[in-house]
């Protein structure tokens, strides 16, 4: 499936609900480590780099963030937004959620979709979407002692050259290995480089609510995402054959110094909910429970994202998925999952679909972290690039250093 740029959006008002109509423009394609790993990536962009010292770009992006809402104006609020003419979605204790049709991009229902919350391990999906096209899955790596000593959920890495990149991605997405996330970051060059790549990927996907401060999602000051952004990231991941394989694997053998041991997927709906493809759950005491799930029935895929849930959420997720399958094709969408942003060029005039400011989740009581993950960084787009050029400033595109 080719990923496309969205060059424009037109608002249509039907039955009091807004639907965003997007015009697709094909994008370019980078080389990949292995064809099987990157098949279906024909439209993935080269990662855009951040402009150092270009304050005009930051101001231009902030102005864009204040002028509209990514995915449609109905997604700007913090309450429930649901379509008319169909039964309402089932209740959930989650502070935020999104139910969307992955095939069409239609957002079927949402609650505080752009609200900022700590994502925990759900944004290991962004680590995977960022690094799968960049790393050779057959490459063997030796994790550092730092990676092996990471706190929270872990697959149990040791500092020996016995792991393929492929093994580390399985550990990342199946058992939420924080140590595996760190080892993948090292394999990509460094922690700083990986965070810059993840944040650039978030900007490319128009996941403007997302800021990554770790590759594993362990809570970090300023790290955040939103239910809407996680849906964008999951939809991008589903275009990657390797990503789909990892999230749908129930059990797998994992290397050890003396042989192998078995790891099992943490997704409790995998194999129990009809059509469940998988994706990722997460939890920290600050973030509380979060989950990104996708299921496919009768040729259609529905994505459900929940964030900041106080307790067990599996039954509620199943109910939201059931509702999504029943509503798709009947309900007037309340918004849309946008496509990747156009590449920054001197001729760009403005962001086609603009994000809006959102409110951080209420602070929760600090406690020991269990597992997690997210990402972001400012991307110089459209009006920001023009602002720099208008000042006659020469600039270089380079990776932005991130804090470790």
Q: Which residues are catalytic?
A: 121, 124, 176
CA distances from 328 to 9, 80, 87, 346 (A): 21, 18, 12, 40
Distance (Å, whole) CA 358 – CA 115: 5
299, 295, 258: which is closest to 278 by C-alpha? 295
Asked whether the beta carbons of 187 and 165 are under 8 A apart, the reply is yes
DSSP H stretches of helix in 263-369:
314-327
User: Could you tell me whether strands 259-264 and 276-284 are parallel, antiparallel, or unpaired per DSSP bridges?
Assistant: unpaired
Give me the helices (H) in 116-226, please. 124-131, 145-148, 165-174, 178-187, 191-204
162 sits in the region (left: phi over 0; alpha: psi -120 to 50; else beta) called alpha
The radius of gyration computed from the CA coordinates of the chain, to the nearest angstrom, equals: 20
**Continuous segment of H or E residues that includes residue 38:** helix 35-38
- Give the Cα separation of 174 and 179 in Å (integer): 13
What interhelical angle do 55-65 and 382-390 show, nearest 10?
A: 140
Whole-number Å distance between alpha carbons of 76 and 149: 41
DSSP string, 26-83: E------S-HHHHTT-TTPPPPPPEETT-HHHHHHHHHHHTS--TT-GGGGSSSEE--
Give 76's DSSP letter.
G
Q: Phi then psi for 358, rounded to 5 degrees?
A: -130, 170
- Tokens 């770009």: give the residue: 57
What burial class does residue 157 get, using C-beta atoms within 10 Å of its C-beta: 0-12 exposed, 13-18 middle, 19+ buried? buried
């Amino acid at each position: 499936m080719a990923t496309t740029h969205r060059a424009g959006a037109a608002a249509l008002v039907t039955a009091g609900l807004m639907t965003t109509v997007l015009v697709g423009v094909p994008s370019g394609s980078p080389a990949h480590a292995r064809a099987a790993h990157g098949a279906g990536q024909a439209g993935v962009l080269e990662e855009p780099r951040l402009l150092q010292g270009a304050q005009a770009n930051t101001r231009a992006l902030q102005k864009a963030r204040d002028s509209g809402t990514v995915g449609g104006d109905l997604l700007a609020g913090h309450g429930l937004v649901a379509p008319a003419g169909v039964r309402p979605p089932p209740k959930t204790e989650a502070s935020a959620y999104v139910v969307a049709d992955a095939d069409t991009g239609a957002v079927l229902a949402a609650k505080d979709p752009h609200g900022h919350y700590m994502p925990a391990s759900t944004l290991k999906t962004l680590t995977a979407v960022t690094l799968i096209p960049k790393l050779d899955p057959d490459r063997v790596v030796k994790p550092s002692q730092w990676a092996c000593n990471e706190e929270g959920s872990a697959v149990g890495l040791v500092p020996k050259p016995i792991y393929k990149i492929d093994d580390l991605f399985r550990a990342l997405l199946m058992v939420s290995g924080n140590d595996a996330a760190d080892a993948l970051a090292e394999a990509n060059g460094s922690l700083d480089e990986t965070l810059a790549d993840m944040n650039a990927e978030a900007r490319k996907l128009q996941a403007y609510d997302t800021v990554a401060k770790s590759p594993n999602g362990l809570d970090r000051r300023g790290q955040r995402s939103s239910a809407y952004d996680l849906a964008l990231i999951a939809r991008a991941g589903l275009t990657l054959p390797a990503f789909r394989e990892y999230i749908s694997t129930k059990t797998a053998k994992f290397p050890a110094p003396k042989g192998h041991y078995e790891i099992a997927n943490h997704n409790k709906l995998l194999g129990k909910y009809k059509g469940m493809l998988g994706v990722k759950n997460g939890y920290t005491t600050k973030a509380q429970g979060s989950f990104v799930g996708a299921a496919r029935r009768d040729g259609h895929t529905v994505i459900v994202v929940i964030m900041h849930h106080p307790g067990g959420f599996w039954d509620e997720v199943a109910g939201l998925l059931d509702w999504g399958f029943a509503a798709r094709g009947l309900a007037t969408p309340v918004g849309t999952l946008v496509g990747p942003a156009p590449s920054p060029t001197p001729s760009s005039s403005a962001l086609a679909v603009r994000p809006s400011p959102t409110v951080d989740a209420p602070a929760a009581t600090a406690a020991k972290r269990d597992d997690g993950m997210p990402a972001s960084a400012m991307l110089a787009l459209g009006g920001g690039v023009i602002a720099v050029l208008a000042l006659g400033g020469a600039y270089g595109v380079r990776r932005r250093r991130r804090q470790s």
